[in-house]
Amino acid sequence: MRIGRLHVLTDTVIQERFDHAELAERAVRGGADTIQYRRKTGSTREMIREARRIREITRRAGIPLIVNDRVDVAIAADADGVHLGTGDFPIGLARRLLGPHRIIGGSGGSRDEAITDAEAGADYLGSGPVYATSTKPDAGPAAGPDLIRVVASTVPLPVIAIGGITAANVLYALAAGAHGVAVIAAVCASPDPEGATREIRAAIDAFLAENARKGGPG
C-alpha cells in the first residue's frame, strides 16, 4: 500500500467520548488515508480486539492500518504495518517478522535517527515534533519545519510530519518537504473528529493541487 498523506492516530487518553474504532471511523469519513492504532496501556488481548475492529474499517476504505509500537498486535490483527520509534522494537527484526510487503514506519527526530532507520529498512519516517505537543510528553522540544527540511533532504523516504499539526499550520510542514502529516489531538480532542479531519484533508489537498499547478513534486 502507498504511504498516506493524512495519518490519524487514535487516542483515548486525551479524550473519552470515542473509543479507538469510533475515532477511526470518523477519521476515515473525514478523509484520513492512514489510521494508526495508538494505545500504550492495557491488555494485549484487548489491543488485538480493538485493532481487528479498526482493521475492518480501514479495509472497507482501502487504506492502511498501522499499529504503534506493538509488532505482536500488528501480526495478530493482520494489520498493514507498524510504526516503531527510537527505543522500540528493532526495525530489522520487525521486517523479518512482518515480511517485505508490510509497512514499517521509523523515526526522523534527527538527521542521525533518520539515516539509521532508513538503513534498517523503514518505509517512511515520522519526523517531529514540528510544533509543541501535549500528547507525547517525552517528544522533546518543537523543532519547527526546519527539521522536516533536514530529514527530507537526507533520506529518500516519505517523511510524515508529526507534533502539533493542525489545519492552520499543515502547509508549512508540507512546504518544508513532508510527504504528509500525522495528527492526534487536532482530531481526537475535537468535539467533531470527522469535521476536524476533513478540514486538515482539505488543507493538504489544496496545497498539493497548488503545488501541481506550479509544477512542483507531488
- The catalytic site residues sit at 38, 107, 136
68 to each of 37, 83, 103, 105, 175, how far by Cα in Å? Answer: 6, 5, 12, 9, 26
Q: What angle do CA 199, 77, 136 make, to 5 degrees?
A: 50
Largest interatomic CA distance in the chain: 50
Separation of alpha carbons 218 and 208, rounded Å? 7
**What would the DSSP string read from start to end of 110-179?**
SHHHHHHHHHHT-SEEEE--SS--SS-TTS-S---HHHHHHHHHHSSS-EEEESS--TTTHHHHHHTT-S
